[in-house]
Chains A and B, each alone.
Chain A
Amino acid sequence: MRYAMAVDTKKCVGCSDCVVACQTENNVPIGYCRDWIVEVTDGTYPQLELEIRSERCNHCDNSPCVRCCPTGASHYSKGGTVLVTPDECIGCGACIASCPYDARFPHPDGHVDKCTFCLHNRVEKGLKPACVSVCPTKCMYFGDLDDPNSEVSVVLKKRKWKTLIPEAGTRPQHYFLI
């Protein structure tokens, strides 16, 4: 099993609903976020292009954050998700520095926090991650890449996509439909 997420940049409007839904679902304190919006404008008026992406931890297959964690708090879990066990985390921040995507942040409770793909609180209960299930444009897809019929497998077959900073060699599992 390999969990992955795809965001359709052609539909995402950058509304941030995914951000606030994650905050209320996962008790992310105000002022912090596990997912965020990136807007990239190209060109000069009126020849312009705009790409909007909802980003989060890429749950990389080859994660520098897991490799560098001195306590094992950062670890691979079900379906290749990358998680942090708060109790084992000493808050040293090595993982924050190692992540090429700036996906991690120091939680005010002293541990490092980031996107979990809502693994325990939703996905294992048969629900989709909070961001995916709230998105008003339905531009986010989540599922198991090993299952050719999962919505994420289907959409990645059908559409052109990219990952972020592939040259970092992290093998990210967060895809962007372009």
Chain B
Amino acid sequence: MRTTRRQFIKVSALGAGSLAVAASTLKWSAASSLFAGADASQAFTRSPTYCEVCFWQCAGWVYKDNDGRIQKIVGNDEDLHCNGRFCPRGTGGVGMYHDTDRLKTPLIRTVVDGEETFRVAGWDEALDYIAARMKEIASRYGPECVALFTHGSGGAHFGHMLKAFGSQSITAPSFAQCRGPREVAFLTTFGDIVYSPERTDIRDTKCLVLIGSHLGENMHNGQVQEMSDAIDKGATIITVDPRFSTVAGKSKFWLPIKPSTDMALLLAWIHVLIENGWYDKEYVERYTYGFEELKAHVKPFTPEWAYGITTIDPHVIRQTAKEMFNASPAVIIHPGRHVTWYGDDTQRLRAVAILNALLGSWGRRGGFYNPEKAEVPEYPVPPFPQPKRMPTEAYEGKYTLANEVVSNGLCEATIPTTDKSCNFKIWFVNGTNLMAALPDQETTLKAIDALELMVVIDTMPTEITGYADVILPECTFLERYDMLRKSPHREPNIALRMPATEPKYNSKPADWMARELGIRLGLEAWFPWNNIEEMLDWQLKQIGSSLEEMKRIGVKKFPRTADDLYFAPGEDISFNTNTGKIELYSTDMENEGFNPLPVYTPHEEPPEGFYRLIYGRAPMHTFSRTANNPNLTDLMDENTLWVNPKVAKMWGLKSGQYVKLSNQDNKVSTFSIRVRVTERIRWDSVYMVHGFGHNNTKLSRAHGRGVNDTELITRVKIDPVMGGTGMRGNFVTFVFDTDGKEAAV
């Protein structure tokens, strides 16, 4: 289809036709002035949903006024994820619906006068086109040549369609670009993963240890709420971070660690616990495997040894270890969430798991509880065809302990090589801006270039939409049904999402798109329901509820059936590991040729004049997804670059001025970023919030605001254990170019 690199097309050039149809009623300003007239005494109607602004999926109520306008979203009091309180992003989730920059109509890439552009298409035309291309391409390469990259609720629908078509290559960047290392580490140690929402029993903990995890800035609702409860009850918080994060400001101990040296601190903590007998001897004896090996292994890792590496005072290392022991088993060495940092992340999280095991916190009140998930039968469909090739063959022999599909593995396998026959030719991309989610944009672009078809399904134009062949506009979560939420929690529970209103513009829900495509591909047998309501109602009836009931209550809890929330004292437990024990010494790691016990390896340090690029979250934004939301940009409309005053003085930088950044590979940021001189960051690092610096002019509020950290992450340290992409090994320096922005002082 193309011989040269596909051009990025700005969505702005197109869709104008369909836009004009609706524009008069759809301007945000118009909607908001209508809101201003709303009377407080007005009656509201409400309908249930669960939030899609982040993965936490809080259940809540969407309130509409008499005229059917969405007024506000609030949490459902019965919901275990949010306890009746949404986070700022969820509360501001209305902005997703009102955003006039939304994708409005299907678009198909075409060539006009030798130039690539998008043209407006109807749904039938767009879906017919995709189905025809899929059949044709699959006739040459097999259905296994299709891959789905997804983050969010649409993934279930498109995943179903893909499996029926004959491919299982379904992947979420939330694994290898985010929480994968912790899941693999906990799986190899405890035989079970951490899950989302995390099974951390924060509300009852006496000591919470956060390592590079900035709860409160990452607004993982339930965890933040419980952390606040724990503060009320006098829990100790220990924060390890080179940055004085919000939670560092609430901690009894803040350990301002030298970046990239966390493993040394963890090993020293293990050393101190074992040397002093500060561990749960009965628990270790009864449940764990490999204690003697561990003990011998950590012998040399004294706090004095760690001091030279981490710059953390040995006395503080001992004191904090004692604090953890005193609190045990009500102690949580938190596994974190975004943990793909340096390429040895699974091993680092293994050390975290080992600490928890020594302190006996796994399966204990105030440590980690045993979550349970509601069992909801799937609507019966024929078995899916067995693909000739499984997704893991894309990275054969590598990442052998990955328990989910590795996104970057599929991305790389898309680039044709002489020795691999497993290229992907079609990508579906749903709800994830791969240009910001995957590091190393060069590789992503090479892969995209090798595709014959890329379909992007999203609510907003982003960077990835510009490279699509077909764009399908998805309606927001406020305008659609989705599969039931049934994440594990303290009690099994389900939550319903239903449309509060009709889809705006010419957007459609993912379930409808997937089914329509399925039918066009001859896969009717896998879509036997007429619509999603019928399917959900069938599912709900199997568990003694109904769609009608769920529309009224939104959330339903069920009694626990399996094991208890915590282990009973002295209970015999068989863990899902090779030895049936909690493996301090990991036989899985050993069998796959990795270190069975975690070791410290030094990581690269910034060259002269460069600073380690650290990125994180802001409580009012989710990745790059919310950067254009009118309500949320009102709270924060650009990221800033945190610079230590010493560094600022050296470079003559002032708060409020704009600079560009250049990394070690001379990659210069597209836009400039506002400097924030602050004591809250170490002198060897700079910090910014991820998700800004959008380069799509169609994003009227987000375009050109701040810097996109992903474009500066050109060096990626791959975790050999599970394919995680370590992104903290990049260094930047300042380029005095304001790209026309005036200093904001």
Q: A and B: real partners?
A: yes
Do residues A19 and B635 form an inter-chain contact, with CB atoms below 8 A? yes
| Closest chain B residue to A47, Cβ basis | B679
A25 to B96, CA, bound (A): 17
Select which of B36, B219, B246, B683 is within 8 A of A27 by beta carbon: B36
Asked whether A72 is an interface residue with its Cβ less than 8 Å from the other chain, the reply is no
Interface residue from A16, A27, A48 paired with B244 (Cβ < 8 Å): A48
Q: List A contacts of B244 (CB < 8 A).
A: 41, 45-46, 48, 50
Contact assessment for B91 and A17 in the assembled complex, using a CB-CB cutoff below 8 Å: yes
Q: What CA separation (Å) do A49 and B246 show in the bound complex? A: 10
**Residues of chain A within 8 A of B636, CB atoms compared:** 16
Whether A30 lies near B228 (C-beta < 8 A) is no
Q: Which residue of B lies closest to A109 (CB)?
A: B36
CB under 8 Å from chain A, chain B span 9-52: 28, 32-33, 35-38, 40-41
A62 to B33: give the CA distance in the assembly, Å. Answer: 34
B571: CB under 8 A from chain A?
A: no
Which residues on the B side are within 8 Å of A49 (C-beta)?
A: 249
- The answer on a CB contact under 8 Å between A15 and B219 is yes
8 Å CB contact of B228 from A14, A41, A121, A137: A137
Contact A14 B619, beta carbon cutoff 8 Å: yes
- With beta carbons under 8 angstroms apart, the residue of A13, A33, A45 that contacts B679 is A45
Give Cα distance in the complex from A24 to B95, angstroms.
10
Partner among A31, A48, A52 whose Cβ is within 8 Å of the Cβ of B634? A31
**Which partner residue on chain A sits nearest B221 by CB separation?**
A136
Q: Is B415 an interface residue (CB 8 A)?
A: no
Measured CA separation A135–B83 after assembly (Å): 11
Contacts of B94 in A (CB 8 A): 24
Complex interface: chain A residues within 8 A of B88 (CB)? 15-17, 19-21
Q: How far is the CA of A124 from the CA of B161 in the complex (A)?
A: 52
Residues of B within 8 A of A135 (CB): 85
Q: Which residue of B lies closest to A135 (CB)?
A: B85
B32→A30 contact, CB < 8 A: yes
| Cβ B228 vs Cβ A45 within 8 A | no
Interface residue? A156 (CB, 8 A): no
A50 and B247 alpha carbons, distance in the complex (Å) = 9
Q: In the complex, how many angstroms separate the beta carbon of A117 from the nearest chain B beta carbon?
A: 13
User: Does A162 make an interface contact (CB < 8 A)?
Assistant: no
Shortest A130–chain B CB gap in Å is 8
- By a CB distance below 8 angstroms, the chain A residues around B82 are 136
Chain B 488-514 interface 0/1 with A at a Cβ cutoff of 8 Å (1 = within): 000000000000000000000000000
User: Which B residues touch A17, using CB under 8 A?
Assistant: 85-88, 91, 619
Q: Report Cα–Cα, A120/B42, bound state, in Å.
A: 12
> Does A74 interact with chain B (Cβ within 8 Å)?
no
Q: Is B624 an interface residue (CB 8 A)?
A: no
In the complex, the chain A residue whose C-beta lies closest to that of B38 is A27
A137 CA / B619 CA spacing, docked (Å): 12
Which single member of B73, B75, B84, B679 contacts A41 (CB below 8 Å)? B679
CA distance in complex: A51, B249 (Å): 8
State whether A24 touches B631 (Cβ < 8 A). yes
- Is the C-beta of B632 less than 8 angstroms from some C-beta in chain A? yes
Task: Look across to chain A and name the residue whose beta carbon is closest to the beta carbon of B219.
Answer: A15
When A45-B679, A46-B244, A134-B86 are in contact, do A11 and B232 touch as well, CB less than 8 Å?
yes
Per the 8 Å Cβ criterion, residues 204-233 of B in contact with A are 216-217, 219, 221, 224-225, 227-229, 231-232
Interface flag for A10 (CB, 8 Å):
yes
Q: Identify which of A19, A136, A138 contacts B87 (C-beta below 8 A).
A: A136
**Contacts A13-B246, A15-B87, A136-B85 given; does A48 touch B216 at CB 8 Å:** no
Q: A23: CB under 8 A from chain B?
A: yes
How many angstroms between the C-alpha atoms of A135 and B619 in the bound complex? Answer: 12
Given A11-B231, A45-B680, A138-B225, A20 and B85 touching (CB < 8 A)?
no
Which residues on the A side are within 8 Å of B232 (C-beta)? Answer: 11
Q: Quick check: B679 and A20 within 8 Å, CB to CB? A: no
Tell whether, in the assembled complex, residue B630 and residue A30 are in contact, meaning their CB atoms are under 8 Å apart: yes
Q: Report the bound CA distance from A16 to B634 in whole Å.
A: 11
CA distance A15 to B92 in the complex (A): 12
Residues 28 to 48 of chain A near chain B (Cβ within 8 Å): 29-31, 33, 41, 43-46, 48
Find chain A residues with CB under 8 A from B250 CB. 10-11, 13
Is B539 at the interface (CB under 8 A from chain A)?
no
Q: For the complex, give the distance between the alpha carbons of A43 and B28 in Å.
A: 43
Contacts of A109 in B (CB 8 A): 36
Q: A89 in the interface, Cβ–Cβ < 8 Å?
A: no
Min CB gap B75→A, angstroms: 8
Counting CB contacts under 8 A, is A139 at the interface? Answer: yes
* Bound Cα distance from A33 to B88, whole angstroms: 14
Please indicate the chain A residues that have their CB under 8 angstroms from the CB of B619 in the complex. Answer: 13-17
Give the distance to chain B from A176, nearest Cβ to Cβ, in Å: 15
* B223-266 to A contact mask, C-beta < 8 Å, 1/0: 01101110110000000000010111110001010000000000
Q: Which of A95-154 contact B (CB under 8 A)?
A: 109, 120-121, 133-139
CB of B89, distance to nearest CB on chain A (Å)? 9
* Binary flags per residue of B318-338, CB closer than 8 Å to A gives 1, else 0: 000000000000000000000
B225 touches A136 (CB 8 A): yes
Query: Which single member of A25, A30, A50, A134 contacts B249 (CB below 8 Å)?
Result: A50
Q: Tell which of B71, B75, B225, B632 touches A137, judged by Cβ atoms closer than 8 Å.
A: B225
Residues on A with beta carbons closer than 8 Å to the beta carbon of B256? 45-46
The closest CB in chain A to the CB of B681 belongs to: A45
Q: Give A45's nearest chain B residue, CB to CB.
A: B679
Q: Which residue of B lies closest to A120 (CB)?
A: B40
A56: min CB distance to chain B, Å: 15
Interface positions, chain B 39-80, Cβ under 8 Å from A, are: 40-41, 71-75
Contact A52 B246 (CB under 8 A): yes
Residues of A within 8 A of B231 (CB): 10-11
Contacts known (A13-B216, A13-B247); A30 close to B679, Cβ less than 8 A: no
Contact partners of A136 in chain B: CB under 8 A: 82, 85-87, 219, 221, 224-225, 228
Q: Taking the nearest CB of chain B, how far is it from the CB of A48, in angstroms?
A: 5
Report yes or no: B32 in contact with A121, Cβ–Cβ below 8 A.
no
Q: Which residues of B contact A52 (CB under 8 A)?
A: 246, 249
Q: Which of A43, A45, A50, A121 lies in contact with B40, CB distance below 8 A?
A: A121
Once bound together, how far apart are the Cα atoms of A105 and B348, in whole Å?
50
Which residue of the partner chain B has the closest CB to A124?
Answer: B40
Partner of A48 from the list B40, B635, B645, B680 (CB cut-off 8 Å) is B680
B-side contacts of A50, CB under 8 Å: 244, 246, 248-249, 680
Q: Looking across the interface, which residue of chain A has its beta carbon closest to that of B85?
A: A136
Residue of A nearest to B244 (CB): A48
Known: A44-B679, A134-B74, A136-B221. A30 touches B28 (CB 8 A): yes
Q: How far is the CA of A136 from the CA of B229 in the complex (A)?
A: 10
Report the bound CA distance from A52 to B245 in whole Å.
Answer: 12
Chain A neighbourhood of B74, CB < 8 A: 133-134
Would you list the 8 A-B pairs with minimal beta carbon distance, nearest first? A50-B249, A13-B216, A121-B40, A15-B619, A137-B228, A17-B88, A46-B256, A24-B72
Given contacts A45-B244, A134-B91, 6 further A-B contacts (CB under 8 A): A16-B619, A16-B636, A20-B91, A50-B680, A136-B82, A138-B229
Taking Cβ atoms with an 8 Å cutoff, the residues of A that contact B are: 10-11, 13-17, 19-21, 23-25, 27, 29-31, 33, 41, 43-46, 48-52, 109, 120-121, 133-139
CB pairs A–B below 8 angstroms (28 shown): A11-B231, A13-B217, A13-B224, A13-B228, A13-B247, A15-B87, A15-B224, A16-B620, A19-B635, A20-B635, A21-B72, A21-B88, A23-B634, A24-B91, A25-B72, A27-B36, A29-B33, A41-B244, A44-B645, A45-B679, A45-B683, A50-B249, A52-B246, A121-B40, A136-B85, A136-B87, A136-B224, A137-B228
